[in-house]
């Protein structure tokens, strides 16, 4: 090989290498974009399902709470505000410990919880629950 041939081969060889690398990078970019798109879709679905399941769990906890109140023959005064439900009821001191224990150990998302002493035998309880 003479010098003129070498001077022509080196730039063409470097051009071929550069084109190969550019093609490889473009294909990698497409694969990464597809992967990112599918992952973002899966993540969006996951967050949607998570919010649905947490709403469902909260509704089930509220149903269990209502059942607990009915079980102990407690008639709560229920008021609804935007996305909250506020329960007000009066407990006997004998039942208060078990009822409040079951209430606080449930999966209920409680926003507000107050207990006031009415007299020696009764407690007034206010519970705010997120809907």
CB 99 within 8 A of CB 68: yes
User: For residue 80, what are the contacts with CB-CB under 8 A and spacing of at least 6?
Assistant: 86
Two structure tokens written together for 11? 């730039």
Percent of the chain surpassing pLDDT 70: 99
3-class DSSP state for residue 72? coil
Alpha-carbon span 94 to 33, nearest angstrom: 64
Domain hosting 124: range is 3-130
The pTM of the full predicted model, rounded to 2 decimals, is 0.60
Q: Which residue is associated with the tokens 């080196």?
A: 10
CA separation, residue 40 to residues 32, 44, 65 (Å): 12, 6, 37
Average pLDDT over residues 86-102: 89
Alpha-carbon span 38 to 43, nearest angstrom: 9
| pLDDT 10s digits, 28-52 | 999 999 989 989 998 888 888 887 8
Percent of the chain surpassing pLDDT 90: 21
Alpha-carbon span 96 to 8, nearest angstrom: 95
User: C-alpha 97: how far from its chain's center?
Assistant: 31
Q: State the total domains in the chain.
A: 1
DSSP class of 95: H
* Whole-number pLDDT of residue 7: 76
CB 115 within 8 A of CB 124: yes
């Amino acid at each position: 090989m003479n010098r003129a041939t070498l001077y022509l081969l080196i730039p063409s060889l470097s051009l071929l290498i550069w084109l190969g690398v550019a093609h490889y990078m473009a294909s990698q970019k497409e694969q990464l974009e597809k992967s990112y798109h599918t992952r973002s879709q899966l993540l969006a679905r996951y967050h949607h399902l998570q919010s649905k399941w947490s709403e469902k769990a909260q509704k089930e906890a509220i149903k269990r709470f209502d059942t607990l109140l009915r079980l102990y023959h407690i008639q709560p005064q229920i008021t609804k505000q935007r996305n909250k439900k506020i329960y007000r009821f009066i407990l006997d001191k004998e039942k208060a410990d078990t009822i409040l224990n079951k209430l606080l150990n449930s999966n209920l998302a409680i926003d507000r919880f107050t207990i006031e002493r009415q007299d020696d035998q009764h407690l007034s309880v206010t519970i705010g629950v997120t809907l």
